[in-house]
Amino acid sequence: MNEDAVRERLRQVDDPDLGDDIVSLGLVNDITVEDGTVSVSLALGAPYSPSETDIANRVRDALADTGLDVDLSAYVPGDGTGDILPNVQNVIAVASGKGGVGKSTVSTNIAAGLADRGARVGLFDADIYGPNVPRMLASDQHPQATEDERLIPPEKYGIKLMSMAYLAGDDDPVIWRGPMVHKVITQLVEDVEWGHLDYLVVDLPPGTGDTQLTMLQTVPLTGAVVVTTPQDVAVDDARKALQMFGKHDTNVLGVVENMSTFHCPDCGSDHDIFGTGGGRALADENDLPFLGELPLDPSVRAGSDDGAPVVLDDDSATGDAFRRLAANTADMAGIIRRRTAQTDR
C-alpha cells in the first residue's frame, strides 16, 4: 500500500465538528509508508480531548486491515503560542464579569480534569489581588529558582502551578497600580520554566481591568471560558467579559453556568437558589457553545478548602459535571486549533 492509497482510506474519516473528511479539510499533514509502518501526522491540537481522541481512533480503524503498523502523531502548523510561550500548545483563560461566581473553582477543576485525562497542564493564578489557587490545591511548596533566576513552578496533581500567593505574604494585601500589574504578570508568564504543556489554564481576576488587558496583549490565547451563575446580575457582568474578548479578537470557547441547582440531601428535591438558565441563555444570545451546568454542592466548597478538586472524585455526580466541563473545554480548543490549521495552509 502506498501513500495515495492510505490517503484515500483517510477520506472515510470525518471531522463532525468541521463537517467534512479530514483529508478534504487539510487535517492530514503527512503520510509515509516505510518498512511495514504507515506514519500519519494529523493536524490535531487539543491532546486528550474526546473529539480528537475519537478522530485518531477512527484513523487507526480505517487502516486496521492494511497489514501495516500504524504510527500517529499530531502537529498543527504554527504549533505553540509564539515567542512568549513557545512550548505551550493551548492557553485557556477562565474569566468572569464579577467576583463570587466560582471562577477559581472552575479554573482549578478544569486544570485538574485535563491533567487527570493525561494532559500536561499548567495553572497560572493571575488573580493577583486575591490569589487562592494554591489553597484550592493544597500546594504548600514554593517555586525554586534556576541559576539564571527563572522560576520552576511546583507541581500538584500533575499540574504545574504559579501564583502571586507564592510571592507575597499570606496576609499581605496587593496594592498595585496598572504599570506594576503589567510588569508582574509579564514576568510570571515569561520568567517561569513551564516546559512543554498541552494546556496552560489562566485564572483571571474578575472584571475587565489591567490584568485582563495585559494577558490579552501579551499572551496568544487559544480561547476563553466565561463563568457565570444563573442570576441576572452575574449574567449582565459576564456579558461585559464577552464584549472585552470580542474587542480583542479573542475566541470564546463557551459559557459555563456555575451554582445552577442545589439538590437537597434531606428532602430530595432540587432548588434553583440563584435562578435558572441564565448561562445557557447568554450562550444562545451570543451564538456560543454552552459548556455545561455545575450544581451548587457543598462538596465543591469542601474540596476547594481542603485542596481536593471535586473533578477527581470518581464517585461524585458533581465530579462528573466538572469532568464533562473539562472535556468540553478541550473539545472546543481542538475545534479552534483545527480551524486555524485550515486557514494557515
d(CA 267, CA 155): 41
Binding residues: 97-104
Cα of 129 vs its chain's centroid, Å: 22
Q: Would you state the pLDDT for residue 186?
A: 80
Residue with cell 459535571: 321
Model pTM?
0.92
Domain boundaries, the chain: 3-74, 88-334
pLDDT tens-place values along the chain, 345 residues long: 899 999 999 999 999 999 999 999 999 999 999 999 999 999 999 999 999 999 999 999 999 999 999 999 998 876 555 678 889 999 999 999 888 899 999 999 999 999 999 999 999 998 877 788 999 999 988 889 888 888 999 999 999 999 888 876 555 555 555 567 777 778 878 889 999 999 999 999 887 777 788 888 888 899 999 999 999 999 999 999 999 999 888 999 999 999 988 877 777 778 788 878 899 999 999 999 999 999 999 999 999 999 999 999 999 999 999 999 999 999 999 999 999 887 766
- Alpha-carbon distance values, 39 to 42, 50, 341 (Å): 10, 22, 19
Q: Would you state the pLDDT for residue 339?
A: 92
279 within 8 A of 255, measured Cβ to Cβ: yes
For 295-335, what is each residue's pLDDT tens digit? 999 999 999 999 999 999 999 999 999 999 999 999 999 99
> Class of 88-334 per CATH?
alpha beta
Binding residues for ATP: 97-104
d(CA 39, CA 207): 47
For 79-138, what is each residue's pLDDT tens digit? 555 678 889 999 999 999 888 899 999 999 999 999 999 999 999 998 877 788 999 999
| Amino acid letter, residue 85 | L
Q: Which residues pair with 202 in a beta bridge?
A: 93, 124
Which CATH code is given to the segment(s) 3-74? 3.30.300.130
